Amino acid sequence: MTNTTNRRSFLKGATTGVGVGLVGAMGLYSYSSARKSHFPNVERKMADIGVCKSVKVVNVSETSWFENATLMGDIKGAGGLLVNQYDYNWPPFGNGKGLGKGSYKDGIAQIKHLLPNRLEEAWEIITKNSVHPENAGGFAAVIEVEEMDGRKRKFLLDSGWSYKWMDECFKREGIDKMLQNKEIEALLISHEHFDHYWGIPVTFKYNPEITVYIPEGFYPEGLQYIKDAGHKGKVITVKNGLHKYIPGMASYVFPIPIICRVYGEQSLYFNVAGKGLVSVTGCCHQGIIQFAETAIREIKYEKDKFHGIYGGLHISPFDDWDPKYDDLVFSLRDYGFEKIGCNHCTGVICAKKFIAAGYPVIQGTARHRSKDVAYLGNGDTIAFA
């Protein structure tokens, strides 16, 4: 495993600017066996997270927003990517004062009394006071883990953005009934971003007592929103690093700064019997290479092999392509994934490049406003093992 790990460490450097991405600039030496003498040995911790029988992911919604141009126009008009997301004046915290003049306190005051049960009334108020409420969508997925004894356990990863859109999606996929029947045992929040987190009242509408796991690094507004959204259950903050949930399932919280004044992302790992490691992510702001490298460094898994990956891989979220992204497409081959289900902030251009490169991409059906079959889209499912 040492040579493979060393090569992966090199690729990680190449894609983050430590190395140089172009073959001509790197020279033949960079691809020769002689380069290996410069690589440090990577100590593997081999943490045992247990093993599960299978993992299935139902994509509730990958459409975080409907038009890239609208979202980017709002961000630019409000001052850029480093502006506090609660200041953009996006739904559900619109205060009627216009782009870049929002505040959590002003916005929530207008709808708090309606949450979580009277979402339609709340959305009417939101629509009148927010910037481009029609562009809000959301990311959410249901993960079903089958334990070795056959018991199946369900978790909701994220709760989207728009109350209106996410409520429609929950009903379409039967998530409302799963929540009401307590079939889904916990809501796992990947990170505090608007398109993954601001739709939490939709989850609480159907189960206000559900346990919520959030990554370390939430801001005061985000923590207060859980209470204001009508939650009555436990909130557990997952510390940076590895966290074991159930046998064969763990998360890793990456302590990273993210655009729109968000910090930290929680991504998931599953050790599937006889297959290998399955990685599931909301946005993968830490980068797909770091996501894979962390698994190599931290976790023991079946066959010492990567089996699959699902989620937003954050390579070209706005479908703008930079030549440096080709390094990521190239690097992915070295990990040997047997199934790839990509959507959301991966970017359709990137997904098509994966397909053109011959990667085992599980394609979707382009239903329910998902734009392309290259994506594992809204209402689509992927199963591992």
Find the mean pLDDT for residues 253-280: 98
118-148: pLDDT as tens digits: 999 999 999 999 999 999 999 999 999 999 9
Q: Which tokens sit at 216?
A: 């370390």
Q: Is the dihedral of CA 266, 376, 53, 171 positive or negative?
A: positive
Smallest CA-to-CA distance from 72 within 256, 199, 260, 346 is with 260
Question: Do the beta carbons of residue 78 and residue 89 sit within 8 Å?
Answer: yes
The pLDDT score that the predictor gives to residue 248 is 98
Check residue 19 and give its pLDDT. 34
Strands in 202-335 per DSSP E: 211-215, 235-238, 241-246, 249-258, 262-272, 276-281, 299-300, 306-312
Are the beta carbons of 105 and 351 closer than 8 angstroms? Answer: no
The residues near 29 (Cβ < 8 Å, ≥ 6 apart) are 35
334 burial via Cβ count (<10 Å: 0-12, 13-18, 19+):
middle
55-384 CATH, one of 3.60.15.10, 3.40.47.10, 1.50.10.10, 3.40.50.2300: 3.60.15.10
> In which band, very low, low, confident or very high, does the pLDDT at 32 lie, cut at 50, 70 and 90?
very low
Closest by Cα among 141, 150, 142, 183 to 53: 150
Calculate mean pLDDT across residues 76-91.
97
**Of 292, 275, 281, whose CA–CA distance to 345 is shortest?**
281
pLDDT at 17: 34
Residue 31 has pLDDT above 70, yes or no: no
Percent helix, strand, coil in the chain, to 5, is: 35, 25, 40
Nearest to 201 by CA among 127, 131, 121: 121
Rounded Cα gap, residues 178 and 172, in angstroms: 12
Give the C-alpha separation, 271 to 138, whole Å: 28
* pLDDT-derived band at 324, boundaries 50, 70, 90: confident
Comparing 31-40, 242-251, 354-363, the range with the smallest average pLDDT is 31-40
Mean pLDDT of all residues in the chain? 91
List, for residues 367-382, the tens digit of each pLDDT value: 999 999 999 999 999 9
Q: What is the mean pLDDT of residues 55-73?
A: 97
Domain residue extents for the chain: 55-384
Q: What is the mean pLDDT of residues 208-236?
A: 98
**pLDDT tens profile 93-113:** 999 999 999 999 999 999 999
């608007």: which residue's tokens? 194
**Under a CB-based contact definition with an 8 Å cutoff, are residues 248 and 145 in contact?**
yes
Question: Residue 166: enclosing H or E segment and its boundaries?
Answer: helix 163-173
